[in-house]
């Protein structure tokens, strides 16, 4: 397939961050002098890979309009949805006037603020000519066990198991259609799974292990540490 002109970023940021147990959604917690979501969006914008970044924000979110970055000319705000997949679909729809069917979209969690420009360009450069697309992923260093009813039933061949990260990179039209068809399916926890359900086989591109998702309270200090190291 040919090189396309525009690459778009989509950032789901409409979650409540239940597991973080904080007084506000985790994307608004302080990190490295700003907030988690400002770090994430700045890194996407500074990579200079994207025409625009569409961010899905909850309708009841009082924090977003207060951030300067919400008014950035390359930032588009879309309403969030019930599940992550609904938020991603909503952000894709906000791009429908501007995005071509074959354009690439990189979907990246607001809660992954340690993403490097190097990983963004590594993913794009690796998959640019691909028909389907793929995701950043990590292999497992630990031995993996299958557990049934609390006891180990098997040791899983590590070479077949990867941890899915974001960004996940797919064609605009293909991703929209896959998410639309998967609407309401709780098994769709990332973009790749929606494409897999269509019978596609997305690629994996090895990412950096510091691209963590802030999920639990201890992750914030870890993200701070990784940022100091980068």
Which residues make up the interface to ligand CTP (CB under 6 A)? 12-20, 27, 56, 80-84, 87, 109-111, 213, 215
Using CA atoms, how far residue 180 sits from 34, 73, 222, in Å, is 35, 28, 35
Q: Where are the beta strands (DSSP E) in the chain?
A: 7-12, 30-31, 34-35, 53-57, 75-79, 104-107, 133-139, 144-148, 151-156, 162-171, 203-206
Q: Decide: 9 and 44 in contact? Cβ < 8 Å.
A: yes
Return the number of the residue (85 or 205) whose C-beta is nearest ligand CTP: 85
Nearest distance in Å: CB 149, ligand CTP: 26
Residue of closest CB approach to ligand CTP: 15
- Restricted to residues 112-171, the positions that interact with Mg ion (CB under 5 A) are none
Nearest distance in Å: CB 89, Mg ion: 16
| Total interface residues for Mg ion by CB under 5 A | 1
Nearest distance in Å: CB 126, Mg ion: 28
Nearest distance in Å: CB 103, ligand CTP: 21
Between helix 36-46 and helix 117-127 the angle, nearest 10°, is 50
- The stretch near Mg ion (CB under 5 A) out of 14-22, 52-60, 127-135, 188-196 is 14-22
Q: Are strands 53-57 and 133-139 parallel, antiparallel or unpaired?
A: unpaired
Residues that bind Mg ion (CB under 5 A): 15
């Amino acid at each position: 397939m040919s090189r396309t002109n525009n690459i778009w970023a989509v950032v789901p940021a409409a979650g409540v961050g239940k597991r973080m147990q904080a007084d506000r959604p985790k994307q608004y917690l302080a990190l490295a002098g700003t907030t988690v979501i400002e770090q994430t969006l700045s890194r996407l914008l500074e990579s200079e890979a994207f025409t625009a970044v569409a961010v899905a924000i909850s309708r009841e979110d009082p924090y977003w309009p207060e951030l300067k970055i919400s008014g950035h000319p390359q930032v588009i705000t879309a309403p969030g949805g019930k599940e992550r997949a609904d938020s991603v679909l909503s952000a894709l729809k906000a791009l429908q006037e501007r995005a071509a069917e074959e354009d690439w979209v990189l979907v990246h969690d607001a809660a992954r603020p340690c993403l490097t420009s190097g990983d963004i360009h590594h993913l794009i450069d690796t998959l640019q000519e691909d028909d389907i697309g793929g995701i950043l992923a990590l292999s497992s260093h630990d031995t993996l066990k299958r557990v049934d009813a609390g006891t180990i039933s098997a040791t899983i061949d590590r070479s077949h198991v990867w941890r899915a990260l974001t960004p996940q990179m797919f064609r605009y039209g293909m991703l929209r259609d896959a998410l639309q068809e998967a609407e309401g399916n709780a098994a769709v926890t990332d973009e790749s799974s929606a494409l897999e359900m269509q019978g596609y086989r997305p690629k994996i591109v090895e990412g950096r292990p510091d691209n963590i998702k802030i999920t639990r309270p201890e992750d914030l200090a870890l993200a701070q540490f990784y940022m100091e190291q980068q």
